[in-house]
Structure 1
């Protein structure tokens, strides 16, 4: 079933003082989607380092996100596909792992502010910046 895959940066806007982007991110999250274990790990890192949240606050934030999404595991298959995508499309390894997880989850839209809006990968998943265009 096609669906939306969230890059880390979109979900971190839930903690932002930019209320417009926070509201968009919240609306998208409430509509459900998929994340990877990598996304959850990156969120934990940023909430600890940048936002200086306690572990209890970080745990609560991650649990809230997981109420709305399916979590795609990080596997050797994800790694192998990610490396191939990084090589083929000149993506950073971390971005390629996000794309790979989205592809393996069967998603057709990857929501990201950092990657090129409209870029289509493997003729199956399109990167969309939800802050630049209507999804």
Structure 2
């Protein structure tokens, strides 16, 4: 059985980045692995953050139809963590314990909630283990 893992928003952003070909290739492989194995997951927060970046901040913003297609075929199938009081409380606790921002702590809370052993992210301290989740920089 594959160990469960969580993908942070930056993985999806890099999967479209023509200026970072090595990161793009690694990000695409991680997303394919997540979809193919069933072991990878994201939260609604990742969907929201990615769609905001893709439709507003990409050098060539993603068009409506492309955004909807990516949402339906990639993001939604990976989404297993939904907001709620318990998730927010866990995020606040992780923030207090770790010193990370609330939004980064909420990503960690999602990984914990999903039973993940790995959180793939470039933005957090690689190697750190929080509540059984090891932060791993895939790049």
Query: TM-score w.r.t. structure 2 length?
Result: 0.87
Unaligned 5+ runs, structure 2:
35-39
CA-atom RMSD in angstroms: 1.5
**2:121 corresponds to:** 112
Q: Equivalent residues in 2 for 1:120-135 (5 A)?
A: 120-122=129-131, 124-131=132-139
- Number of residue equivalences: 130
Matched position secondary structure for 1:15:
coil
**1:98 corresponds to:** 107
Mean Cα deviation higher: 21-30 or 101-110:
21-30
User: Which segments of structure 1 move beyond 6 Å, counting only runs of 4 or more?
Assistant: none
Q: Equivalent residues in 2 for 1:1-135 (5 A)?
A: 2-17=3-18, 18-32=20-34, 33-51=40-58, 52-66=61-75, 69-122=78-131, 124-131=132-139
Is contact 1:34–1:70 with CA below 8 Å preserved after alignment? Answer: yes
Structure 1 residue 69, shift from structure 2 partner: 2.2
Query: TM-score w.r.t. structure 1 length?
Result: 0.90
Is contact 2:91–2:102 with CA below 8 Å preserved after alignment? Answer: yes
Structure 1 residue 76, shift from structure 2 partner: 1.1
| Distance of 2:28 and 2:77 partners within structure 1 | 10
Unaligned 5+ runs, structure 1:
none
Mean Cα deviation higher: 21-30 or 108-117:
21-30
Is contact 2:8–2:120 with CA below 8 Å preserved after alignment? Answer: yes
